[in-house]
Structure 1
Amino acid sequence: MNPSDKQKSRKGKPVFPAGIYGILGEKFSLGRTNAETARQMVSGGIDILQYREKSHLKSRKIMLEECLEIRRITRDAGVIFIVNDFLDIALMAEADGVHVGQDDLPVKKIRELAPHLMVGCSTHSPEQAAKAISDGADYIGVGPLFGTQTKEDACDPVGIEYLEYVAKTHDFPFVAIGGIKRHNLGEVLSRGATTVCLITEIIGAEDIHRQIKEIRKVMATWSPSGS
């Protein structure tokens, strides 16, 4: 299935899906390459996949090569592909979107340079959420909800209350992220999240297919559609 086969928004961009948002990172992938992990996550039924590496760990050339391969994998499966931070790599790899943090490129500028891309923005407070939305983000990240070791520059946990605030006050796509595991997933879902990101819980699993299946079982208890 091609990305064009997926439901599109009025602007021609993919619709942000409910379900499981996966993030790649070789450091936590048990020796698997990003491409190998991507194949397993895609075949296991991931809904959206983000490439996240840092330039002090890999050259931009290598990151582009990896993203080109992951783009082929995700395109064949019709899975939305997002590149973290690097707008140039996202454009060259023909990704569906780019995700930025509070200290990265401004959402407004990305919107000007690449209006066709889906833009996600990490937020840690009500004020940041409101600004990201007004600046034109297509979805926001809400977190980190719990302590996490997967992001070197992660801020302190914002707590589950921020998630509940966003779910109740904003009719806007968001992904709950940060320290989410199977044991606390129910708490996250009960506060209104419909798209969740579990990073090491998936890429650090021996059997990625089984882990995604188990996560969906938990999600099914909170959603009539079992997404």
Structure 2
Amino acid sequence: MTRLLVLTDRAQVPAGRSLRDVLAAAADAGLRTVLLREVDLPDDERAKIADHARTAGLEVVAAHRPVPGCAGVHLPADAPLPAVATRWGRSCHHRAELAAAAAEGAWWATLSPYARTESKPGHGPPLPASAFAGAPLPVFALGGITPANAAAARSAGAYGVAVMGAVMRADDPASVVAALLREVHP
């Protein structure tokens, strides 16, 4: 399993660039897995983005609801399990949700917020580093992750990191992805 997940958010991509541009640059820099959010779009539009990401060499995990051809689905902490057997993870905000996700058979979870984040201003205080240690399943630290703190998240016990804003808003997404990969790989 990858140590770096990039979450999409086309609203954060700077003018003059598209989400497709960002995904292609991230893939060229070594990203292997993208978590396709864009949950406000109809499923056929999400499927087109997923198809493009796969042609760039990315494994795609869909947020909230399955998208045909995706490698899995990432669900909110309280969402029902997918009807079709697939790899799936949960979005968690405290240890009890991690334990529940592990008991249900989740393959992974995100745990947030790791740090203050520009993507969701005011989204809870950052979790203590101890929240990531000894998790019952692979956990990706999410929220405010940058190349400057990614290694610290791993040192705190996170299996990997999940990043949205630092990549989506970057002037040079490829250099941010490359820096993140250097920080999270053992």
TM-score by length of 2: 0.86
1:80 and 2:64 equivalent?
A: no
Contact 1:144 1:154 in 2 (8 A): yes
Q: Indicate the SS of the match to 1:196.
A: strand
More helix per residue:
1
Tell me the CA shift for residue 182 of structure 1.
1.9
Gaps of 5+ in 1: 1-16
Q: 1:19-38 residue pairs with structure 2 within 5 A? A: 19-31=3-15, 32-38=17-23
Tell me the CA shift for residue 68 of structure 1.
2.4
Q: Indicate the SS of the match to 2:118.
A: coil
1:3 paired residue number? none
Runs of 4 or more off by more than 6 Å in structure 1? none
2:169 paired residue number? 204
Q: Which has the larger radius of gyration?
A: 1
Letter in 2 for 1:29: V
Contact 1:24 1:37 in 2 (8 A): no
Q: Indicate the SS of the match to 2:114.
A: coil
Distance (Å, rounded) in 1 between the aligned partners of 2:184 and 2:111? 18
Contact 1:143 1:159 in 2 (8 A): no
2:84 paired residue number? 114
Distance (Å, rounded) in 2 between the aligned partners of 1:64 and 1:39? 20
Distance (Å, rounded) in 2 between the aligned partners of 1:133 and 1:19? 18
TM-score by length of 1: 0.72
Letter in 1 for 2:12: F
Gaps of 5+ in 2: none
Q: 1:121-200 residue pairs with structure 2 within 5 A? A: 121-151=90-120, 154-166=123-135, 170=136, 172-200=137-165
Tell me the CA shift for residue 216 of structure 1.
2.3
Greater mean alpha carbon deviation, residues 154-163 or residues 118-127: 154-163
Instruction: Compare relative contact order (CA 8 Å, sep 6+) and give the higher one, 1 or 2.
Output: 2
Letter in 2 for 1:195: G
Tell me the alpha carbon deviations over residues 91-138 of structure 1, each in whole angstroms, 9 at most, x when there is no partner: 4x32111111124x223xx1xx111x2111011222111111111211
Q: Identity, % of aligned pairs? A: 20
What's the RMSD between the two structures over aligned residues? 2.2
Letter in 1 for 2:2: A
Tell me the CA shift for residue 74 of structure 1.
3.4
Q: Count how many residue pairs are aligned between Structure 1 and Structure 2.
A: 185
Distance (Å, rounded) in 2 between the aligned partners of 1:161 and 1:77? 36
